[in-house]
Amino acid sequence: MRLYGPRAVKKNVTSFPDQTSLETDTAGQVFKHRLIVLTFLEQTQMPFQPEALSHITPHFARFANTTGTMEITNLITPKSISPTMRVTSKKHALQEIAKRVAESYSLVEREIFEILLAREKLGSTGVGSGIAIPHGKIKDLDRLRGYFARLERPVEFDAVDERPVDLIFLLLAPEEAGADHLKALAKVSRLMRDKNVCKKLRGSDTSEALYALLTDQTSSQAA
């Protein structure tokens, strides 16, 4: 039986008949970001055919009950938010975020940056509508960590809809994180695809206001 590695998975995920949605077979839950599917496939290395989503959903459903215990407040604080980040490109954005994350969590900037670049080579984490959710795993990280940046001006990000990105939610996980990593991705994905939330985020320019919007919305969505 052939097992697809990350690069092959990326090729196949981008050829979904409907690459913006995946429906699980339990609880009627729907996840609308292919990056979650891609991460799941990278971790499980399971057989995959684009035309046969049934190969994925029974396995993915084990991780699908994501919103009950994972909260945005577990991932970010007001200090891990940049309300008006000035960058000129995707690479510059990743560099600047890596720098600020390293400062916020006492991590190594270069290590973060290299992990983010490696992840982007598998496929852009620009998920559309001006949103990017870069993510990766860091050795010896104590727990899941997040960082939110509102860009002063949008930058090209090779996003799935080819729109420039101005809202970035970074997620870092410990190397041993499995289901928790997917739960966090699903939680962030669910939050950031809310058009009303994104409109309010784009209209706010302080860390406190952005944090309040992110966490208030999380509370209202808790399932």
Mean pLDDT for the stretch of residues 163-181: 92
% of the chain residues with pLDDT over 70: 66
DSSP letter for each residue of 182-219: HHHHHHHHHHHT-HHHHHHHHT--SHHHHHHHHHHHHH
Q: Is the pTM of this model over 0.85?
A: no
- Per DSSP, the three-state class of 51 is coil
- The confidence score (pLDDT) of residue 196 equals 95
Residue 203 placed within a domain: yes
Residue 220: which region, alpha, beta or left (left: phi > 0; alpha: psi -120 to 50)? alpha
Alpha carbon distance 14, 18 (integer Å): 9
Q: Are residues 114 and 58 in the same domain?
A: no
CATH number of the domain that 112 lies in?
3.40.930.10
- Domain enclosing residue 215, as ranges: 72-221
Quote the number of domains for the chain: 2
| 184, part of any domain | yes
* Last-in-domain residue among 63, 90, 108: 63
Answer whether residue 89 shows pLDDT above 50: yes
Averaged confidence pLDDT in the chain: 76
For residue 54, count other CB atoms closer than 10 A to its CB: 9
Tell me what pLDDT residue 9 has: 40
Catalytic site residues?
A: 135
- Give 7-61 pLDDT, tens digit per residue: 444 444 433 333 333 333 332 333 344 555 555 544 444 444 444 344 444 444 4
Q: Which of 16, 41, 63 is the last residue of a domain?
A: 63
* Per-residue pLDDT reduced to its tens digit, 116-130: 999 999 999 999 999
pLDDT average, residue stretch 194-218: 91
Residues 6+ apart with CB under 8 A from 159: 124, 126, 127, 128, 130, 132, 165
